[in-house]
Structure 1
Amino acid sequence: MIADAAIGLVAAAGLRGLTHRAVDGAAVLPAGSTSYYFRTRTALIVACYQRLAELDVGDIDDGNDGDNATTAVPSDREAAAAVLAGLLYRWLTVGRARQLARFELSLEAARNPELEPELHRAGQVARARAAEILAALGADRPQEAAELLAAWTDGLLYDRLAGALARSRPAPDLDELTAAARRMIDAALARAPGH
């Protein structure tokens, strides 16, 4: 509950809006509650990273119609493209604020070496899940393919949420996102020259 409130504040006001007192208010908790559980601002930001990773993996698992450890893996590229497009659509619509917070918090880790390991750890969770899916689809180097797919996904999300044309773009379209997802998956699964 505290991390969710903190993520909402970061999405709405950026990191300047992230204070223990503001989180108490947003979470409707007695004054001092947030600082009791997260003594420092750094600890609160780490909690945000962990919660964002948990929510992102939950979305991936939901998109695969899975449940925790027994997550179903898409059976082919078309199914994987549909899952990825669904995730992109969700993250650009109902999950928009959460993704904005994720980008904001990522930039903070780039400026604060103390936070970088936590961001890295949180980011590896979704990449590991993507590597599992890509391996099942026949990727020669699933981890490498997952890194590329994560970068392309982040790039598309950033462009649509905060890029120069973000405000002038039409609302997200599932067909358009499916076509983009299909191209990203095909590229991630393509064999490198000489392999």
Structure 2
Amino acid sequence: MVTERRTVIADAAITTLARAGGRGLTHRAVDRQAGLPMGSTSYYFRTRADLLRAAVDRLAELDEAAIAPATAGTLAADLARVLDRLLGADRERLLARYELALESVRRPELRGFLAAGTHRVRGAVEQRLRERGVTSPREVADAALALIDGLLLAELTATEGQQRGRAELEGTLARLVGAE
């Protein structure tokens, strides 16, 4: 029950970050978003830093699960599927991640949490690359995550005009991680 409640709160923190921004993330706002009695969030996560860490950990958990081999397709296809979901149905996760990244500029302790989350996601991509016999999986995973971050920011902010479709995202990623 405690783990479930923590997950509910972390998910509500992600939604709150996406909808209200970093300044809108308060224990009370998360309680409201989660539909919990006032004080519930502060019971499980005493400080705002604890709440931010819970959101970062939950985002990393969700990203790891999304990258895990869900299909028999290529890694590029699986990554394109993840990007497509982040730009669509899971957009709040993407917005929350960017809110956290921006806040980390002013909160050095948050950078450490984000780095740990990125390490987890990089490990999942690295594992997929290793399974496919890619040489230098660490370097390719680093490059893939940098490309993904750039693609997501460009698509989210529409800096490149028309949004890329899933097939175009897959083609771009395939050039980096291999067509397999």
Higher helix share: 2
Q: 1:173 aligns with which of 165, 169, 180?
A: 165
TM-score by length of 1: 0.81
Read off the aligned partner of 1:34 and give its amino acid letter: T
Q: 2:74 aligns with which of 60, 76, 79?
A: 79
Read off the aligned partner of 2:93 and give its amino acid letter: R
Read off the aligned partner of 2:35 and give its amino acid letter: V
Q: 2:123 aligns with which of 107, 120, 128?
A: 128
Gaps of 5+ in 1: 67-73, 190-195
Q: How does 1:1-195 map to 2 (within 5 A)?
A: 1-61=8-68, 64-65=69-70, 79-165=74-160, 169-170=162-163, 173-186=165-178
Read off the aligned partner of 2:145 and give its amino acid letter: A
Read off the aligned partner of 2:36 and give its amino acid letter: L
Structure 1: distance between partners of 2:90 and 2:75: 20
Gaps of 5+ in 2: 1-7
Q: CA RMSD in A?
A: 2.0
1:71 corresponds to: none
The alignment covers a number of residue pairs equal to: 173
Structure 1: distance between partners of 2:174 and 2:37: 48
Whether the 8 Å contact between 2:140 and 2:176 is mirrored in structure 1 is no
Could you tell me the percent identity over the aligned residues? 45
Indicate the SS of the match to 1:102.
helix
Runs of 4+ in structure 1 displaced over 4 angstroms?
none
TM-score by length of 2: 0.88
